[in-house]
Structure formats: C-alpha cells, structure tokens
Amino acid sequence: MTNESKAILTKFSRQIPQSVLGPERVNYIVDHIEELSVEDRSSLINLANYLLETMIERDASDIELGGHGASGYVWFRVQGIKARVKDLPQFTIDEASTLIASLLNINQRRHLLVSRNLDFSYTFRYFKENADVRFRADAYFDLDSLALNMRAISSRLRTIESLGFHPYALQTMSHSHIKFGLTLITGITGSGKSTTLDAIIDYHNKFDPAHVVIIASPVEYVHNSNVSIIKHREVGRDVLSFQEGVVQALRQDPDIIVIGEMRDPDTIMAALEVTDTGHKVFSTLHTSSAVESIDRIIAEVNPAEQERVRMRLADVLISIVSQKLIPGIDGKLVLAKEVLVVTPSVRAAIKNNNTSEIYMMVNQGGNLGMITMEQDLIRLYQQRRISKESAVSFANNKTRIRQLLKAV
C-alpha cells in the first residue's frame, strides 16, 4: 500500500512542468489535484493515515511533513524531542505538498493559498483500537512549498482533580459557584492549555446542567453532552472568526462560552463584553505568567481604549492559570502552574495600573488557592519529580527561585 501510494505521488509530481517555479508549483498542485481518480485520492489518504498510525504507535505527540526544512523526512516529536524518522518513506518537496493538499477540501485549499496558513482538524478511524482519532493540524508555506504539523489529540480526558487545583481556586472556575466571570488558561504553545480547558469542560459536564459553546481553531477534543449540552464551533468551518463566534453565541442561550484563544483586539473586546453580560467565559493566551496575561490584554487594544479595558477586565476577571510542562526526572512531562485568584486587592491593583504588586499577592495567597510558578516548581523539586536545573530553567523569576532553593 505504501509503495503504491508513493508511486502515485511520484507520478503526479513529475507532471508538474519544470517551467512552473516557486509558489506557482503549489498553485499547480492545488489546481490539478482534483484530476486524480477517487481511488488515487483514497490511496494518498491511506498513506497519510499510515503515517499517523505509526505516530500513535510510537507515542509521538507531533508529526512534521513537507517543506524545505524537513529535508525529505517525516519527523516525530517523542517526549519533547523532535527527530527525523528514517524508517518511514521520504518525500520530495512536490510529493509532500501533494500529500498535504490531498487532505484538504476545496475551500480549505483556497484559504491556504490566500492566507498562506490553515488551521484545521483531522479525524480517521484507527482500526487497531476501533476508535476515531483526532489531530490538530496546521498547514503552511516553507520556502514556497507546503509543510504540515499535526498534533495528536488525546482520546482520554484528564480529570480536573488530577491537575491539583486548590478547592478554592476550583470554585472560581465552577459555573455552579460563580455564574459569570472570565478565567484564563495561559502558557506557551505545547504547555497543555487545551488539556486543562477540556478538563474544566468535562468537570461541568458531569454535574452542571449548562449550555456550553466552544469556539476553537481548530476543535480538538469533541465532548459528548452528558449533564451539560455542549456545542462545538470550529473557526473557518462553522464560524468565520473567534469574534463572530462570541457575538453569535449571545443569541444561542449559552451559560458557558469557551474561546479557544484571545488572539486579537476584536476577540478580546468581544470576550470582555460577553462576560460583562453575565456569562462564564474561559479562554487562553500565549503568556507565561498571571501578571503578564493582564498586561498583555490591556496592551493589545488601542491606547485610547486601554483605560476602559483595564477597568472592565478588573471587574470581570475571576482567575488565571499559567502553566508549563517541565521535563521530569522519569522522562515524562510534569505540569507546573501559577494560579491567580482575583481578590479585592488584586482587582484594585489592576484598576490602579499597579500590576507589579500582584506577584506578591499571589505569593502570599496560598490559603485562597494561589501559587506562583516558582512555588510550584519548588514543590515539584521537593517531590523529586523535576531536577534543580529544570526548576531554575523554567522559572519566570530566576532570583526568586534561587532564593527558594537555598531555603529548601
């Protein structure tokens, strides 16, 4: 099967005229890929599925394919380390671009050519486990050729209890305890934000008769409605943008709105407004600390709007979880997190533009479920789950972590 699929790719790529150069080669592939027979298209999809099956069997989190940087190889990330997989088929740049294009529908291919990037989800039936498996995918251009990253979406949800939140911090995230307000889950790419969000959704789905609307790019884990009714809206597929998804959600009678990412000023403003109308909102940011998250939201909007946004954010913000995945001593990744619970003192610091004071409030707020990243790294170090070097390397405040280490 692999050899037949590879032969289809080779034959198709050889038909591209040598006079077609640069980005026009991808345009040619996109324009002509529909000329492949149904059988050939199916064979290419089976080849892609074979690569993904291999990825699952080797416990890889990500696969990279195509583009100049791949050097013709398929690459896997296993336990945080990305390396070429030498026993899988190699692909020329045109072959890889063709394989990637074969996974997309007509509208997706058009969007990719215009935007030069496409986030999408991908699902196929994994017969060895008799289950559908899902992937978060990103197709993009690398030196005028197509490249693809796909990340495996775990079919097993982590429970909220396994994430180690203080009961009071967990209350701030509970819709049954606080009916409205904004909770942010922050961290760099690959820090487990989606896993935490899904755990929060699943937590509500077990006991809260709420309407949950998830707006994501792409939708990763698909929740089955249990006690809650859960709707999934994928940006670019079910709705045009995060902002439109948030605005439209107001007409869909939601209790909880999950915004995959507050990535632009329009989405930030929409999120604050919908929270202000009395909804429970969860969202993510690419920031590494609670204070940085607050400052980033305010800095993202027009300077003329910043004072109003600061006041509104102070009024609606409930909690922030900033997290990192740290290499553990046993070779597995370990979750470290900073938790801010918004108290009257924190709210006043935001309104008065004194966010630099918030770190010490978190440092001293353990009885309210708060913890700094440095305190949590020390906890993990004392439990012998991470090394001293990792604790220092992943700390936001290097001076503080060294002080804490001396006291251990």
pLDDT digits (tens, 9 = 90+) for 147-165: 999 998 877 788 999 999 9
For the chain, give the mean pLDDT.
Answer: 93
- Burial of 343 (C-beta count, 10 Å sphere; 0-12/13-18/19+): middle
Residue 287 tokens, joined: 């920031």
> 107 and 234 share a domain?
no
Predicted pLDDT of residue 150: 95
Q: State residue 331's pLDDT score.
A: 82
Burial class (CB in 10 A: 0-12, 13-18, 19+), 284: buried
Which tens digit of pLDDT belongs to each residue from 283-328?
Answer: 999 999 999 999 999 999 999 999 999 999 999 999 999 999 999 9
pTM greater than 0.85 (yes/no): no
For residues 175 and 318, state if they share a domain.
yes
Q: What is the pLDDT of residue 253?
A: 94
Q: Is residue 147 located within the same domain as residue 106?
A: yes
Are residues 180 and 78 both part of a single domain?
Answer: no
Give the pLDDT of residue 8: 93
Q: Could you tell me which of 333, 330, 365 has the C-alpha nearest to residue 191?
A: 333
Which one of 132, 153, 174 terminates a domain? 153
DSSP 3-state assignment of 32? helix
Same domain, 140 and 177: no
232 plus 281 within the same structural domain: yes
Task: List, for residues 220-279, the tens digit of each pLDDT value.
Answer: 888 999 999 999 998 878 988 899 999 999 999 999 999 999 988 999 999 999 999 999
Q: Is the pLDDT of residue 172 over 70?
A: yes
Comparing 169 with 126, the larger pLDDT belongs to 169
**What pLDDT is stored for residue 62 in this prediction?**
94
Q: Helix or strand or coil: residue 205?
A: helix
In a shared domain, residues 254 and 365: yes
Tell me the per-residue pLDDT of 181-226, one tens digit each, with 9 for 90 and over: 999 999 998 898 999 999 999 999 999 999 999 999 888 888 999 9
CA angle 135, 138, 143 (to 5 degrees): 145
Domain CATH number, residue 68: 3.30.450.90
**Coil, helix or strand for 227?**
coil
CATH number at residue 302: 3.40.50.300
Q: Looking at the structure, tell me whether residues 306 and 397 fall in a common domain.
A: yes
The per-residue pLDDT for 128 is: 82
**Which residue range(s) make up the domain with 402?**
160-407
E strand spans, 235-366: 256-259, 280-285, 317-327, 333-341
Of 122, 153, 184, which residue constitutes the final position of a domain? 153
* Sign (positive or negative) of CA dihedral 271, 276, 281, 284: positive
DSSP label at residue 357: G
138 and 180 in a common domain: no
Beta bridge partners of 142: 145
* Whether residue 97 has pLDDT greater than 80: yes
* Average confidence (pLDDT) over 353-380: 96
Question: Any residues with CB less than 8 A from the CB of 318 and at least 6 apart, and which?
Answer: 172, 173, 178, 181, 182, 183, 341, 342
Same domain? For 200 and 137 the reply is no
- What's the confidence (pLDDT) of residue 408? 78
Q: Give me the mean pLDDT over the 62-81 stretch.
A: 92
pLDDT at 54: 95
What are the residues whose beta carbons fall under 8 Å from the beta carbon of 154, sequence distance 6 or more? 195, 221
Strands lying side by side in the sheet with 333-341: 229-234, 211-216, 256-259, 280-285, 181-186, 317-327, 333-341
Q: 279 and 139, same structural domain?
A: no
Residue ending a domain, among 127, 153, 179, is 153
Cα 320 to Cα 305: distance, rounded to the nearest angstrom: 22
Confidence of residue 339 (pLDDT cuts 50, 70, 90): very high
- CA dist 96 and 64 (Å) reads 11
Read off the pLDDT of residues 6-30 as tens digits, 9 standing for 90 and up. Answer: 999 999 999 999 898 888 999 999 9
Around 292, how many Cα atoms within 13 Å sit in the side-chain half-sphere?
A: 18
Are both 132 and 260 inside the same structural domain? no
Counting every residue written for the chain, the total comes to 408
pLDDT of residue 306: 94
- Does residue 316 contact residue 276 with C-beta atoms inside 8 Å? yes
Who contacts 302 (Cβ-Cβ below 8 Å, separation ≥6)? 265
Q: Is the pLDDT of residue 1 over 70?
A: no
The number of folded domains in the chain is 2
Q: Is the pLDDT of residue 78 over 80?
A: yes
